[in-house]
Amino acid sequence: MKDETNIREDWGGDGRGRMNLSGRHTAISPTYIPRKYQFFHTNIVTIENDWRIPGMPDNVITGNRQLLTWHDNGASTAKITLPPNFAAPAGVFTADLEIFVLKGTIQIDEWQLSKHSYSFIPAGVKVGPWQVLDREVEILWMENSLLKYTNAEHNHPDAKLHEFIPALDSKLLPWSKSDTVQFVQASKKWLRKDSQGGGVWLLSILPHYDGKYQMIQSYNEESYGLAGYCDIGNYRFAKDNFGYVPSFTTVPRHTTDDGGLFFVRIDRDLSKHGTVLSYIHQD
């Protein structure tokens, strides 16, 4: 039913979090580069037309995909666009799937996901039917291993139903502390916490934030700009920018005058000592 293979995290984790963020290629670097942060605007990424969810029936209308990161085992993060008349039957996926809505509304079974809504669909959980409502929908589509759709009437016996998040509207969630001393002028909304203490959240950085120092990040990170901006060194990370930061990367100083809102995925617990380290380089 599903591929149980998880990549051993390159910071020393055992893969139980099943996020598979280690060792990824990116849209601007087809070869994995250890300890090298990569930031880019998604409008430069090639659009793959007529993209279809693998295994979906031929009569299901195709969409467009921009592949942002991927691993050789099949894990990937992409931005997909589905047209207004998109509809697909219920079924199960052979790997964990996360979706975050950037624009529009999509109905999955009895639940509607609108802008900034999130869902985590573990492998083997029956979901659907799917229907785009009103206009096209733009989604961050995150496959945590090689994923295919299969037609099924019921959940697979091994499906982790206790982890299933059908529809989470982030606008209804409370803000909490960021958990790291480097981001004391920031707040977090948890969308999902994995078994390693990492997970998925929204990060709001307040205006006039200054991290003062560069940082060593002892974990893997993906991030997407939703509003505002944060200057990371000389790079302005703003709306529709994407970032991939492998573990033990030294990342430049973070600053912003106006603040910003960002979608973040991380495979380690940032509240643990030593995961984020301020670093002053001596010339």
How confident is the model over 212-231, as pLDDT tens digits? Answer: 889 999 999 999 999 999 99
Q: What does the alpha-carbon distance between residue 3 and residue 123 come to, in Å, rounded to a whole number?
A: 9
The two domains 45-171 and 173-279 share their CATH topology (first three levels equal): yes
Among the residue ranges 96-100, 173-177, 234-238, the one predicted with the least confidence is 173-177
Between 26-35, 183-192, 211-220, 221-230, the lowest mean confidence (pLDDT) is in 183-192
**Rounded CA separation 246/258 (Å):** 27
Distance CA 110, CA 88 (A): 14
Average pLDDT over residues 179-186: 72
Q: For 173-279, which CATH superfamily applies? A: Jelly Rolls (2.60.120.10)
In this model, does residue 44 exceed pLDDT 80?
yes
C-alpha to C-alpha distance for 143 and 70, rounded to whole angstroms: 9
Mean pLDDT (whole number) for 192-210: 91
Rounded to the nearest 5°, which phi and psi values hold at 278?
-65, 145
Host H or E run for residue 260: strand 260-266
Q: Which has the closest alpha carbon to 212: 182, 236, 245, 185?
A: 182
For the beta carbon of residue 217, count every other beta carbon within 10 angstroms. 23
Contact 55/148 with Cβ under 8 angstroms? yes
- Structure tokens belonging to residue 169: 């509207």
pTM for this predicted structure: 0.94
How confident is the model at residue 273, as a pLDDT? 81
Per-domain residue ranges of the chain: 45-171, 173-279
Q: Tens of pLDDT along 117-170?
A: 999 999 999 999 999 998 899 999 999 998 999 988 899 999 999 999 999 999
| Cα–Cα dist 266/19, whole Å | 8
Higher pLDDT, 50 or 3: 50
The stretch 172-191 carries a mean pLDDT of 84
The highest-level CATH class for domain 45-171 is: mainly beta
Is the model's pLDDT at 179 over the cut of 60?
yes
Q: With pLDDT > 70 as the criterion, what percentage of the chain qualifies?
A: 96
Query: Would you say residue 63 has pLDDT above 90?
Result: yes
Nearest in space to 210 (alpha carbons), one of 236, 231, 187, 238: 231
Q: What is the dihedral of CA 42, 202, 266, 233, to 10 degrees?
A: 60
